[in-house]
Amino acid sequence: MTLTEPAPAKLNLALHVRRRRDDGYHELETLFAFAADGDVLTVAEADADRLEIDGPFAAGLSTTDNLVLAALESMRSPPFGGVPPLAIRLTKNLPVAAGIGGGSADAAAMIRLLDRHYVHNGDNRELAIANANLGADVGACIVGRTRIGRGTGAELHMAADDLARCPVLLVNPGVPLATGPVFKAWDGVDRGPLPEGSAREIALGGRNDLEDPAIRLCPVIADVLARLRDSDAWLVRMSGSGATCFALFDSLEARASAATTVRTARPGWWCLETVLS
């Protein structure tokens, strides 16, 4: 039997960095949302664990040092267990080091799949807490719904979600951007908390404090943002630590028009037309 689980792209609709912590991490507030599309994880029982990676962004990814395998081992540890050896295929449709979940989304897909078919815990919040050691974004990716994240992003809170099925265009200029250097380049200025309100209100009133440092490290991000802002989008912003940027629209037609314009002007850029889940 073959089992399949989606690993949708994660978006930070707003990302406020509040301070550097003594443990080397950053205190932040963020509004997580998820696209309807992303990577795909497929597994089948086997005589030994193995991971294969295919898809347009498979090149260079390790099949031995991978968060998918770390998630597998985590779900075999107490209080979980009962997971047999698996043949795993990860279809990598999303760019790597791109600010849209990456390995966190893939690890979360593995955790959800194993829970549904083998572990039967059924509590996404408990799964997120138990697997917090895999990365700050993994918990949000396990839940896979619009949430406010605090602390390092792992403390999740409900948000009134009025953005379901909102058309969104994701654009990446094809330049990988590691998270660590972007956070290190942040200027340390606390520009205030997330606003109150629904997801749309928070997104509109929020910001991404990592945009400026990311642009200093990867100037083409400014070009991506400018091209998206020259559309009918009601919100344009960089996601996470970049370099992927997104634009939210009120109609599929406006999204399609913007995508056509970007692809014509920059055929080498990656574009994904999707909706928020």
Same domain, 6 and 113: yes
CATH of the domain at 55: 3.30.230.10
Same domain, 58 and 171: no
Mean pLDDT over the full length of the chain:
96
Chain centroid to CA 84:
28
Q: Indicate which residues carry an active-site annotation.
A: 10, 137
Among 89, 123, 158, identify where a domain stops: 158
Among 123, 139, 158, identify where a domain stops: 158
Name which of 23, 4, 6 is nearest 136 in CA terms. Answer: 23
> pLDDT at residue 237 above 90?
yes
> pLDDT at residue 143 above 90?
yes
Same domain, 150 and 117: yes
The 10s digit of each residue's pLDDT in 160-218 is 999 999 999 999 999 999 999 999 999 999 999 999 999 999 999 999 999 999 999 99
Residue-range definition of the domain harbouring residue 225: 167-275
Among 101, 123, 158, identify where a domain stops: 158
How does residue 52 score in pLDDT terms, banded at 50, 70 and 90?
Answer: very high
Give how many domains the chain has, as a whole number.
2
The 10s digit of each residue's pLDDT in 91-133 is 999 999 999 998 999 999 999 999 999 999 999 989 998 998 9
CATH of the domain at 248: 3.30.70.890
Same domain, 154 and 24: yes
- Which pLDDT score is estimated for 88? 98
Same domain, 29 and 147: yes
